[in-house]
Structure 1
């Protein structure tokens, strides 16, 4: 009888802070050892965190690779003293290789048992090159034949080829460190992909996903294990650091099987997951930047009240400051318990501001207040407003910029219905005239890439379609300079 205990460790690595990530990995390894784990599986890019590495100067990229290699050597030395083996993700380049792999290294008893690299690519990580199709890595078991680990990236689970190649090469379990960003409904799609791979190969599977907010992306964790019958053997909670130990046995001449159900945390419903993703994105943004809080213009647009409420949820009311140019905004600030600076847009303006639209003046005031107080300018605009020309500054953070107004209102209604916390006033939930048709046309033009004739055939008014298309064309250059938008919508099917 062969036994192996595999620990799934999801955490939020600090971007390019390899020393901090190394310290966290050591803490997780100590926890895994105390829980009786034989192997600790960490997310993809656990040593560096995910980032736009391709935008960095070449000497910074080289330093990042060198520091990652030194940290890996330290972990390899740690493993010589006993304790769980580690499967850790990092960028790695072979000698003479111009760009690195997104690689996975298996360390055990002071040895590097093998490298594997992500094969698939989706255009998000231009710095990395695809790796070769992998074979299994033998994991030593005292007195027994090694367990053959089918190590692959989470992105490589999107199709059948890599998993099937590992199964045909003798893998006994698929092990998938991942860095797959959150999107609404994304966990269900991720789980279904894994179920398909288990069905096709007949192998159990564990997936360990990254955690944390990283610029435009947020990662939910929600690591899991499936046995060879596609049953959920473990499910870690979403949006929090977690270590879950799964236990497996291989009887003589029998396949590896889960022998003890680990913790299975019920997944969040869609609105609860979206709320947690946005809260995590904002809190991690400020933790990474070191900014004191946020400034939001409560009159910026129909999504601004929800943006302010989410900021309170993420940071606490004391770290949220508002600009209020209307009585309604001042009243909302009182409801949310946040400090509000009044802004009189009908007052006399300095000569250099005369003639500017009132909303533009308010935006400049919000930026100035954010800079003066060392805060982040939280843009209160939604996807519809940004697409149709509302101007948010490029240095601001558009927490709701990927959601249309219908989704904003659905999330606000969900938030109001939950117990605890200040509720938004009903007026902020009322749809605007023609809102549904406008958003349907935008979806057709931007997401589905339909031409006006196709939209007219679906019953939309020709003049309205033409008006929106003309505005999108006219504003194309401005959209390139828009705020940093947190991506939460699922990809549009081909």
Structure 2
């Protein structure tokens, strides 16, 4: 009977659809585990296909390729430790989200996910089938239970595995980030080890996939809930965990416990990681953005420089007659502080040409929002021309407050492929800029220090599309707007809830109205990294046509 069990946890970053690349990643982890004397090398949920695959997993050809990739991986890893990887498992007319145990050159066992999440960003009920509750897998004489992700959030699956002889629990996950989620995960897993009396290894993947960023932070708990090992967040890592048999059962020998950074640093790292991986996985090496001299474009430029390196970021100032000297100076200062390329492209001549072209049709009308939006759309046209010519992905720069109420021009400043701050409210953008000026980390590729001038942070926000324009002319002040949006969007609250929190009914109704009528803009907006449990897109899905309004 074995008295020691060595588990290699491989907290890695797969790419959706890159079956060969993901298998190579698994093979490298297996080799590292073999060199370290591991009994089992474990990778996260759906590690062969990447996660989330969404409807890609419904294509029979994709399923066949994934299964063939897993079978080849088993043959390649025959002589050494057991390898466990996540992937789809076809079962007649059913399809399972499964965890494959590869041993001796073949698939030795498969565990199927039982609880299929169907909330927030997850649609697994329409993609997969559940199977009967299963027991543990025998690995070198040790019975290892392998509940998959959601299966460990409820007692049933763990209880069934414990009752059928599990001695150690290994839980592969594809759990995407939202702010302060780690404590929620930890509390759930502590409940499982207390109930089952078994040690537990929680293994999460890393990396960005579209709007989601998987933040790692894998950990190991001993019976009673004691934290034995904690891996870093937002970082690929492998760690060898040793378990020993004691008179009271198996226990993990305490190892390194990484201290996780605070919520602001994690948010910033998620935005950097999301952009970096979106570019890497879609094939873009360079990005560009319109740099206005305002706070939103300044933080997006900084995120881009930190993610890709300043040499891969083009900042473009596109001034009109309404652009202030302060904005011109501030935009140049941000680009120079970061070390990014800075281009100056005035729009006055192009705007005049468009105005002249439309003049016969607009005769007899007064200038209004139409003329303001022409400026924004002309900037979008010019930026997209640069994107096409030089193969640089255009970034948009609207914060969550603007995205919520439609304070952006569709086909204008909303044009682009990715928005790093899409899920960050304006008031938090201010805090984020101050944080970045005061902090620098090894994973940041841009210079340290005050890269965003203090004046950019302190001056009143303005779109500068007409003389003396301020955002507060059209919207409640951002602290008020963001607090109302927090109630209406993040908490699914009501107008009455806004009033109970001390906000004016007129302001709350205005924000509600803008929120609903802007749905069509969000439907066409660029993706961006999810920072909260109620990010726009998969977390909050509303109809574009919607005549309902709260009557209170």
Fold in common (TM above 0.5):
yes
SS in 2 for 1:349: helix
- Match of residue 93, structure 2, among 89, 92, 96: 96
Q: Give the superposition deviation at 1:382.
A: 0.5
- Would you say 1:376 and 2:397 are equivalent positions? no
Q: Give the superposition deviation at 1:196.
A: 1.5
Q: Is the 8 A contact 1:301 1:380 kept in 2?
A: no
Q: Give the superposition deviation at 1:175.
A: 0.9
SS in 2 for 1:397: coil
Q: Is the 8 A contact 1:76 1:107 kept in 2?
A: yes
Q: Give the superposition deviation at 1:89.
A: 0.1
Q: For residue 436 of structure 2, what is the aligned residue in structure 1?
A: 415
Q: For residue 452 of structure 1, what is the aligned residue in structure 2?
A: 495
Q: For residue 308 of structure 2, what is the aligned residue in structure 1?
A: 315
- Would you say 1:470 and 2:470 are equivalent positions? no
Q: Distance in 2 between matches of 1:480 and 1:300?
A: 28
Change (3 A) 1:276 1:133: farther
Q: Distance in 2 between matches of 1:30 and 1:70?
A: 20
User: Larger deviation: 39-48 or 220-229?
Assistant: 220-229
Q: Is the 8 A contact 2:299 2:433 kept in 1?
A: yes
Q: Give the superposition deviation at 1:395.
A: 4.5
Q: Distance in 1 between matches of 2:522 and 2:236?
A: 35
Q: For residue 334 of structure 1, what is the aligned residue in structure 2?
A: 336
Q: Distance in 2 between matches of 1:459 and 1:237?
A: 41
Q: Distance in 2 between matches of 1:358 and 1:351?
A: 12
Q: For residue 137 of structure 1, what is the aligned residue in structure 2?
A: 136
Deviation track 1:250-290 (CA, whole Å, cap 9, x = no partner) reads: 24x641112x3222222222222222221111111111122
User: Larger deviation: 469-478 or 32-41?
Assistant: 469-478
- Match of residue 215, structure 1, among 210, 215, 223: 210
Q: Which residues of structure 2 form unaligned runs of 5+?
A: 320-326, 359-370, 441-446, 462-471, 540-552
Q: How does 1:19-168 map to 2 (within 5 A)?
A: 19-54=20-55, 61-80=59-78, 82-97=79-94, 100-123=95-118, 124-126=122-124, 128-141=127-140, 146-168=141-163
Q: Scaled by the length of structure 1, what TM-score is found?
A: 0.91
Change (3 A) 1:348 1:41: closer
Q: For residue 183 of structure 1, what is the aligned residue in structure 2?
A: 178
Q: Distance in 1 between matches of 2:132 and 2:218?
A: 24
SS in 1 for 2:84: strand
Q: Is the 8 A contact 1:244 1:263 kept in 2?
A: no
- Would you say 1:289 and 2:282 are equivalent positions? yes
Q: Give the superposition deviation at 1:218.
A: 0.7
- Match of residue 419, structure 2, among 381, 395, 398: 398
Q: Which residues of structure 1 form unaligned runs of 5+?
A: none
Deviation track 1:10-48 (CA, whole Å, cap 9, x = no partner) reads: 111122111111111111101011111000010111111
Change (3 A) 1:212 1:460: same
The total of aligned residue pairs comes to: 481
Deviation track 1:61-110 (CA, whole Å, cap 9, x = no partner) reads: 21211111111111222343x2110111001111232xx21110112223
Q: Distance in 1 between matches of 2:225 and 2:281?
A: 38
Q: For residue 361 of structure 2, what is the aligned residue in structure 1?
A: none
Q: Distance in 2 between matches of 1:37 and 1:468?
A: 57
Change (3 A) 1:130 1:193: farther
- Match of residue 249, structure 2, among 255, 265, 278: 255
Q: How does 1:354-373 map to 2 (within 5 A)?
A: 355=371, 356-373=373-390
Change (3 A) 1:427 1:122: farther
- Would you say 1:302 and 2:295 are equivalent positions? yes
Q: Distance in 1 between matches of 2:420 and 2:529?
A: 6
Q: Is the 8 A contact 2:136 2:165 kept in 1?
A: no
Q: Scaled by the length of structure 2, what TM-score is found?
A: 0.82
Q: Give the superposition deviation at 1:140.
A: 4.1
SS in 2 for 1:206: strand
- Match of residue 229, structure 1, among 224, 232, 251: 224
SS in 1 for 2:97: strand
Q: Give the superposition deviation at 1:455.
A: 1.6
Q: Is the 8 A contact 1:212 1:219 kept in 2?
A: yes
Q: Give the superposition deviation at 1:348.
A: 4.8
Q: Distance in 2 between matches of 1:448 and 1:6?
A: 40
